[in-house]
Amino acid sequence: MVAVADVLIAGAGPTGLTLAVDLARRGVACRIVDKEPVFATGSRGRGMQPRTLEVFDDLGLLDAVFAHGSAYPPMRAYQGSEVVWEGVMSEPTDPTPDVPYPNGWMIPQWRTAALLRERLAGFGGQVELGTELVALEQDEDGVIATLSRDGRAERARLAYVVGADGGKGAARRLLGVPFEGVTQEDFRVLVADVRVTGLDREHWHLWREPMIGLCPLGGTDSFQLTIADPERELATLADLAGYVAERTGRTDFRLDGLTWLTEWRPNTRMATRFQVGRVLLAGDAAHVHPPTGGQGLNTGVQDAYNLGWKLAAVMGGAPGSLLATYEQERLPVAAHVLGLSTRLFEQRTMTRGREERQLGLSYRGGPLAVDDRPAPGVLRAGDRAPDGPWEGKTLFDVFRGPHWTLLEFAGPAGAYDVRPGTWVLVRPDGYLGVVTENPATVDACLGHLGCARDDVVTARV
């Protein structure tokens, strides 16, 4: 029996890696394994929503994300060579004091994963490739995970296991948790990463009937090619190039340098539970989305960000009931986002609105949201904590790190919409835990979670 960590994470995609980084910065010993022998390639989930940018700001990754990606380019639709429409996926929004990163950002998923691995390495962690979770046993005190590598089995005793191993991963299956939903077998989309010569990189190029898209991937020399419901099998670069030329009627640009090719079918499924004892599910292991709206990767990152501080707190002595709030908070959010992704797919629209940014998602009314004011304002417990100026810095500068933050409002509250004399307790994941005019309420909530006031960063606003 091997015991080298407190937490095992199965799956080294963005969800698992985000959780590993968050746990590592909190001093929790964890292992992260992935059954694949090499790191995944491919642009896959290339859209990073504003709320995810805020998470990566907190994790110390935002500068790298901005350095290796780009804003979404304007779209240009053609009939053959003729431009028939131009527009944008969403209208750019200027930053404000409370929302410093209001616009989505494009970065290939393989690059996001690489940046997370680099950040994890800075804490001394690394991914164990070619290592598959094959069995789980658990009792009240821990989990025995059986891992397979190079044909050899290893049994490891852990305090907790997190399955972030995707929709087809082993963790959910080993738990026997149903994965309810539908897969549309009568529709498919091919997605590939290719290089293109003869086509500008300042636009996202689109043709309809059938839908073909070529979107330049910022920070790379590649384009993401999408082909909706092709009439024949396309398995090689020659297949793709021939089909694109045939359907667009264009011979003035050329595809080469195919590095990745996959096929997806609209798949909308969600696990009926996100926790069974000491095993938890996150990301695609808990919910899979159509890629419309760019919600899948982002929702997985939010799962990890919600779970990380709770796991660390329980490992540090907080009551185990805190961990139950992970499912209580994230399952309704995942259901809501699945509905959004499905609607966008059914509408077949390329434009996006404010809802996809994930800034308005809230845990209001949840088990960790306490707001005892007689007349609550627009912002309430459970909502995202806005940014704002503070003593030559910003509130995000104060929040950055693994701690709780207590804001004592003595003057104008800006986006917080509270009266002077209000106390706002900001959770480690940047949501409002407590909004109150009675500081004893803050102490009671912290005490319930095994956290002392001395462990909280306090800022007078």
Report helix, strand or coil for 245: helix
In whole angstroms, what is the distance from residue 179 CA to residue 176 CA? 9
User: Vertex 118, ends 113 and 123: CA angle to 5°?
Assistant: 125
Preceding amide of 412 cis, omega within 30: no
Query: Quick check: 334 and 342 in contact, CB under 8 A?
Result: no
Where do the structural domains in the chain lie, given as residue ranges?
7-69+107-182+268-357, 71-104+188-264, 370-460
Written as six digits, the tokens of 48 are 């990073």
Query: Which residue from 334, 288, 16, 290 is spatially nearest to 167, judged by alpha carbons?
Result: 288
Please list, in sequence order, all residues whose beta carbon lies within 8 angstroms of the beta carbon of residue 217, skipping any fewer than 6 positions away: 43, 46, 70, 106, 108, 193, 223, 224
Give bridge partners of residue 9 from the DSSP assignment.
32, 162
Angle between helices 296-315 and 321-347 (to 10 degrees): 180
Instruction: Tell me the one-letter amino acid at 5.
Output: A
Domain 370-460 adopts which CATH fold?
A: Glutaredoxin (3.40.30)
Backbone dihedral region for residue 17 (phi beyond 0: left; psi -120 to 50: alpha; all else: beta):
alpha
Q: What is the DSSP string of 361-415?
A: ---TTSTT-EE--SS--SS-TTSBPP--EETTEEHHHHH-SSS-EEEE--S--GG
Written as six digits, the tokens of 159 are 């305090």
Asked if the domains 7-69+107-182+268-357 and 370-460 are classified in one and the same CATH topology, the answer is no
Query: Quick check: 444 and 391 in contact, CB under 8 A?
Result: no
How far out from the chain centre does Cα 35 lie? 21
Buried-exposed string 290-317: b where 16+ CB fall within 10 A, e elsewhere:
bbbbbbbbbbbbbbbbbbbbbbbbbbee
The highest-level CATH class for domain 7-69+107-182+268-357 is alpha beta
* Secondary structure letter of residue 272 according to DSSP: S
In whole angstroms, what is the distance from residue 238 CA to residue 234 CA? 9
Query: Which residue from 382, 389, 400 is spatially nearest to 461, judged by alpha carbons?
Result: 389
In whole angstroms, what is the distance from residue 14 CA to residue 339 CA? 22
CA distances to 115, 274, 430 from 218, in Å: 15, 34, 28
The second-level CATH assignment, the architecture, of 71-104+188-264 is: 2-Layer Sandwich (3.30)
Q: How many CA atoms lie within 13 A of 383 on its CB side?
A: 17
Tens digit of pLDDT at every position of the chain (461 positions): 665 689 999 999 999 999 999 999 999 999 999 999 999 999 998 999 999 999 999 999 999 999 999 999 999 999 999 999 999 988 999 999 999 999 999 999 999 999 999 999 999 999 999 999 999 999 999 999 999 999 999 999 999 999 999 999 999 999 999 999 888 878 899 999 999 999 999 999 999 988 999 999 989 999 999 999 998 999 999 999 999 999 999 999 999 999 999 998 888 899 999 999 999 999 999 999 777 656 789 999 999 999 999 999 999 999 999 999 999 999 999 888 877 666 666 655 555 556 678 899 999 999 999 999 998 889 999 999 999 999 999 999 999 999 999 999 998 778 999 999 999 999 999 999 999 999 999 999 999 998 888 889 999 99
pTM of the model: 0.95
